Structure 1
Amino acid sequence: MTGKVSPLSGRTAVVTGAARGLGEAIAVRLAERGARVALLGREEETLARVRERLPTESLCWEVDVTDDARMAVVAAEVTEQLGAPSVVVANAGLAEGGPFAQSDPAIWRRVVEVNLVGSAVTARAHLPALFETSGYFLQVASLASIGAAPMMSAYCASKAGVESFCHSLRAEVAHRRVGVGIAYINWTDTDMIRDVDAHAVLRELRGHMPPPARKVYPAPFVAERLIRAVERRRPTVYVPSWLRSAQLVRAAMPPVVTMLSRRELPRLAAAHPFEPTGLLGAGGRADASTSGPST
């Protein structure tokens, strides 16, 4: 955006899951465009450190994205203190891996609640402001929204759910001049993905993906692509761009994944017994250590 004023300049933007990783990178890119940023997450001290890095007026709120009442209060405070948001990025997310049959029901449910229900709560809390500003809601989804993988059932189910939610929401609010975008992203260099590689079964499964599909992208690179999409109010953004082609073959993906899994999973299980991973990454560990729901 050198030499050109971004349409985000002087606007207010909300980012959930902003304490680290992709959420932090998105917040930085928004602030560099001149936006005031509301940082939402569960780790107040970490959020404060992110806020200190931002070159524009920004504030942070410790909040659980699945808590309807608290999210409504935060939304009102954001509007009061920073102005009605023109952009809301639903980025908060959790992941866990391992066999579904051995999964902890509470952890499995928590992943779905944060990734799917939390995104819906975020949208509901901020839609009144987005109606006022004719704003834009961006949902951070995943390749998992298009094609599910074994050993990641909660994550895949939740990301498929947010894709459908956003398609429905986009049609519902289009006449109110609110845009809804879906960001399909692949492996991004965050604590969560580093934890994937720390678990043998998930590392092996990723290693069996085609080379382009297992490449890990820096969080600032992904964030830059997402913010360009926000500036243009895109209905979809794919990072990397080749992910768009996966939409053309998504109907064929489940039987192919099943065929490969039938062949590879017994071999992998013989080398590395499958075990539940628990919540992945620093954000997941923070969630697990916090009383009550968290993000």
Structure 2
Amino acid sequence: MHDSPGGRRVRSSPDRPLHGRVAIVTGAARGVGEALAHSLSGVGMRVALLGRERATLLETAESLPGRSMCIECDVTDRAALADAARRVEVGLGPASVVVANAGIAVSGPFDRTAAELWQRVIDVNLTGSANTARAFLPQLAATRGYFLQIASTAAFGAAPMMSAYCASKAGAESFALALRGEVEPDGIQVGVAYLHWTGTDMLSGIDDDPVLAALRRNQPRPARRVHSATQVAQWLTRGIARRDRHVYAPPWLRWCQPLRPLFPALVARIARRELRARPGGAMSSRGEVLGAGGHADWNSYWASHSALPPDP
């Protein structure tokens, strides 16, 4: 049972645990967020799409099979998120599922990445996740709901040239694990999703990044596979329906957890070898935003600050 708009009680059957419930997906304008909105709507959820690109959000919302709403919102803006939470509760009902998916990435040497750009990755990926939880925890407490933090195998072993992204994803994982212990007494469950190579526009420049390309090239063949956003969304939906503490996309990643102490040394060895083979070359490039979604966020951020952004 859970509340719907107007206070009517809606019953979910055991074989359709998500049907009729309300889901929040941040970063829903494209990529995994867009695919997850489709997947959750397909199993009967009412979905609120939050993101920075209004036109793309509207297009996605209109294509969903079920009831939905979209809200243009910056997850680093606590006041905007609080307003979004109020609008969702009035328009769709209290949230039973909240997915902190919004994220951007930057590739390049730390000392050649604009400080504002590096900080923006941390603000969106880590602080934005905490802001999302803060805004929707009261609704999740009322529905005894589920909060899913989208993390990454970047939390398993930090890769050079991706310092902000790796730091933010490791931090987001730690945040979610800490939050889990705090909110379990309120009936809220917290999951962490670990995504590997996923076919979104954020990954489009992977072959141009010498370290990431080398890391992928040195992985076992099955681990090199790039999975579609649609497939990843299906794995996430399955984990959400089961309220899993850990969701792995692809599922075989669960067997990597016991090996995590080994990964930092392995990543460092591969990265060191690759960078030595390219003396000065890889480290001379500037830090750059990856993917159309990252560029949209970066440009919107600077537009709201009435300034020209540093060259990304």
What are the residue-to-residue correspondences of 1:267-278 with 2, within 5 Å?
A: 267-269=277-279, 274-278=284-288
How high is the sequence identity, in percent, across the aligned residues?
A: 52
Q: Distance in 1 between matches of 2:301 and 2:194?
A: 31
Aligned residues of 1:103 and 1:276 also touching (Cα < 8 A)? yes
Q: Distance in 2 between matches of 1:228 and 1:37?
A: 16
Deviations 1:248-279 (A, max 9, x none): 12112222222222222111346756413411
Residue 121 of structure 1 pairs with residue 102 of structure 2: no
Q: Distance in 2 between matches of 1:34 and 1:235?
A: 22
Q: Distance in 2 between matches of 1:293 and 1:260?
A: 39
Offset, 1:103: 1.5
1:240 pairs with one of 250, 259, 263: 250
What are the residue-to-residue correspondences of 1:270-289 with 2, within 5 Å?
A: 274-289=284-299
Offset, 1:218: 0.6
Report the residue type matching 1:236 in the other structure: H
2:102 match = 92
What are the residue-to-residue correspondences of 1:123-138 with 2, within 5 Å?
A: 123-138=133-148
Report the residue type matching 1:79 in the other structure: E
- Aligned residue pairs: how many? 292
Deviations 1:138-179 (A, max 9, x none): 011000112211111101000000111011000000111101
What are the residue-to-residue correspondences of 1:1-295 with 2, within 5 Å?
A: 5-199=15-209, 202-269=212-279, 274-292=284-302
Report the residue type matching 1:134 in the other structure: R
Offset, 1:285: 1.2
Structure 2: unaligned runs, 5 residues or longer? 1-13, 305-312
TM-score, length-normalised on structure 2? 0.89
The 1:51–1:70 alpha-carbon spacing in structure 2 relative to 1, beyond 3 Å, is same
Aligned residues of 2:73 and 2:81 also touching (Cα < 8 A)? yes
Deviates more, 1:268-277 or 1:203-212: 268-277
Q: Distance in 1 between matches of 2:222 and 2:15?
A: 34
Aligned residues of 2:24 and 2:97 also touching (Cα < 8 A)? yes
Structure 1: unaligned runs, 5 residues or longer? none
Report the residue type matching 1:8 in the other structure: L
Report the residue type matching 2:234 in the other structure: E
Q: Distance in 2 between matches of 1:257 and 1:99?
A: 16
Offset, 1:195: 2.8
- SS of 1:290's partner is helix
Deviates more, 1:145-154 or 1:20-29: 145-154
Aligned residues of 1:16 and 1:90 also touching (Cα < 8 A)? yes
Tell me which stretches of 4 or more aligned residues in structure 1 moved more than 6 Å.
none
TM-score, length-normalised on structure 1? 0.93
Report the residue type matching 1:64 in the other structure: D
Q: Distance in 1 between matches of 2:214 and 2:262?
A: 23
Report the residue type matching 1:166 in the other structure: A
Q: Distance in 1 between matches of 2:102 and 2:173?
A: 15
- SS of 1:24's partner is helix
Aligned residues of 1:141 and 1:162 also touching (Cα < 8 A)? yes
Q: Distance in 1 between matches of 2:86 and 2:254?
A: 36
